[in-house]
Amino acid sequence: MVLSGFDIVVIALVIFVILVLFAGIKIVPQGYRYTLERFGRYTRTLEPGLNLITPFIERIGARMNVMEQVLNVPTQEVITKDNASISTDAVAFYQVLNAAEAAYQVANLENAVLNLTMTNIRTVMGSMDLDELLSNRDAINDRLLHVVDDAVRPWGIKVTRIEIKDIQPPRDLVDAMARQMKAEREKRAQVLEAEGSRNAQILRAEGAKQSAILQAEGQREAAFRNAEARERLAEAEAKATKMVSEAIASGNIQAVNYFVAQKYTEALTAIGTAGSSKVVLMPVEASSIIGSLGGIGAIAREVFGDNPTPPPPPRQQSTPRTTPAVNPFNPPTER
């Protein structure tokens, strides 16, 4: 088949149209933004998906990744406010919000963010003491994030997080800090031990105080009850004395004998139960004792109405003699 010149022109024209169509179709993947330039000037930003451009007039300028990216900050030396040299590294997270600004406002965006972060790390950490650096890492992260994010805002990006990964003081400084921490802990232990001893002494004193108060209350209660008992005993003695006095006043000689015999018997009981001596030298008239006992028997007959057999008459003894102690509840028998 022989093609004519017209056919060749038509085929070439169709191929040219197809190539133009393919050149004007641009597919942008998800997570990216493409800048479009017309004769070298930025015109618009292509969104993810299928986009059509004018071939040979418009072209793709920059392919920007708008996903959040991680930037590792290398280890660097920092001198703190108290002239301590430390080594630190960090990690930064940033995201492109405006593809056009990120593409045309700064050259080499990643390197710019890295150097800006390193510079601010030296600035922020250099204005703090070593103890403050080691104990306030969250505060350092917040200050770095605020400073760096304000600095990169004209570039159309957002710094979402900056984290200090490690802070390494010199070895001799670490040993000194360990000794300081040990001394602080020993001091704290001594303080706690002293406070515990003081509290124990206070508790013992409180216990002794409460015990003394309870003991005093017990003694007071015992004294009160003893006084009450003595008062009742005195009332009983007074009542008995009053009854004997009334009996004497009425001419009842037997009541007198009973009262005298009771007191005499109590005296003999005290002498007989004494542990210092078993033999007592004293003049005793048996007739007086028997007479007293006879008076007691007479009173008992009047009270109970019995008729006991009267005791035999006593023998007269006028000379004093040595006798053992007499038990009032077991009178000695006569021989």
| All domains of the chain in start order, with CATH | 5-65 (no CATH), 69-169 (3.30.479.30), 252-274+281-335 (no CATH)
Read off the tokens for 297. 């028997």
pLDDT in tens, 203-218: 889 888 888 898 888 8
Q: Are 186 and 113 in contact (CB under 8 A)?
A: no
pLDDT in tens, 62-107: 999 999 999 999 999 998 888 888 899 999 999 999 999 999 999 8
Give the pLDDT confidence score for residue 330 in this predicted structure.
Answer: 45
The mean pLDDT value for 267-282 works out to 61
* pLDDT of 184 over the 90 cut: no
Nearest to 89 by CA among 149, 158, 137: 137
Pick the range with the lowest mean pLDDT from 52-56, 244-248, 321-325.
321-325
Q: Which 8-state DSSP code applies to residue 321? A: -
pTM: 0.52
Give the pLDDT confidence score for residue 22 in this predicted structure.
Answer: 84
Burial 207-226 (b: 16+ CB within 10 A, else e): eeeeeeeeeeeeeeeeeeee
Give the pLDDT confidence score for residue 74 in this predicted structure.
Answer: 92
DSSP string, 213-251: HHHHHHHHHHHHHHHHHHHHHHHHHHHHHHHHHHHHHTT
Nearest to 32 by CA among 89, 80, 96, 79: 96
Read off the tokens for 335. 């021989």
> Rounded to the nearest 10 degrees, what angle do helices 253-272 and 286-304 cross at?
120
* Most confident listed range (1-5, 41-45, 316-320): 41-45
Name 79's bridge partners: 85
The mean pLDDT value for 164-170 works out to 86
Read off the tokens for 57. 């007039």
Nearest to 273 by CA among 323, 308, 325, 318: 325
Interatomic CA distance for residues 284 and 3, integer angstroms: 183
Separation in Å, CA 119 to CA 122, 129, 252, 275, 310: 5, 18, 128, 107, 134
